[in-house]
Amino acid sequence: MEAVLEGEVLRDDQWARIELFVPGGRKGKRGPRSNGRLFVDALLWMARSGGRWRDLPERFGPYQTAKRRYYRWIEMGVLNRLFEAVAAEPDLEWAMLDATVIRAHAQAAGARRKRGDRTPKRLAVLAAASEPRSTSA
């Protein structure tokens, strides 16, 4: 298998948590019929990338097969059971809040202020309302 990016596939502990809800792929007389873990990884790749089925990398197998299995799992309710099982015990390892999520004014990041920002608005209004100081107008 070609090198995959970090975090693109399920870890062993994550797979062990959902393996019971994935149909097929268990060893029988002839071995596993299909690789459910690879298919779940393909679904995660689709969700993260937002790509089309045709864009699915070859390491996940033919995209037509993955697409058929996806719709079959929806009809069988496999994905609903899988989501319910995962939602029952959430893994909050990736839930975080940092400064990249929170919007701040440009000045908070060290940007220069505009020239008019130095005058407080109340004083600016008073200055505009006062009579002109020169008599030549």
In a domain, residue 21? The reply is yes
The single residue listed with the structure tokens 């030549």 is: 136
Q: Could you tell me the pLDDT band of residue 1, with boundaries at 50, 70 and 90? A: very low
Report how many domains make up the chain. 1
Average pLDDT over residues 4-23: 76
51: Cβ–Cβ under 8 A, 6 or more apart, which residues?
Answer: 45
The answer to whether residue 5 is domain-embedded is no
CA separation for the pair 77, 82 (Å, rounded): 9
Instruction: State pTM to two decimals.
Output: 0.57
6 band by pLDDT with thresholds 50, 70 and 90: very low
Longest Cα separation, the chain: 105
What b/e readout covers 18-48, taking b as 16+ CB neighbours within 10 angstroms?
beebbeebeeeeeeeeeebbbbbbbbebbee
Higher pLDDT, 49 or 120: 49
Which structure tokens are listed for 132?
């002109």
| pLDDT per position as a tens digit, 72-130 | 999 999 999 888 888 887 766 666 666 565 566 665 666 666 665 555 566 666 666 66
Residue 136 is assigned to a structural domain of this protein: no
- pLDDT score of 130: 67
47 located within any domain? yes
pLDDT in tens, 22-47: 887 556 666 556 788 889 999 999 98
CB 37 within 8 A of CB 10: yes
Does 110 fall in a domain? no
Residue 58 lies in a domain: yes
Task: Give the domain range for residue 56.
Answer: 12-94
The answer to whether position 65 is within a domain reads yes
For residue 25, being part of any structural domain is answered with yes
What number of helices (H) and strands (E) belong to the chain? 5, 0
Secondary structure letter of residue 12 according to DSSP: H
* Separation CA 39–CA 117 (nearest Å): 56
Q: Which amino acid is at 62?
A: P
Q: Regarding predicted confidence, which is higher, 64 or 114?
A: 64
Residue showing tokens 């609903």? 80
Residue 66, pLDDT > 80, answer: yes
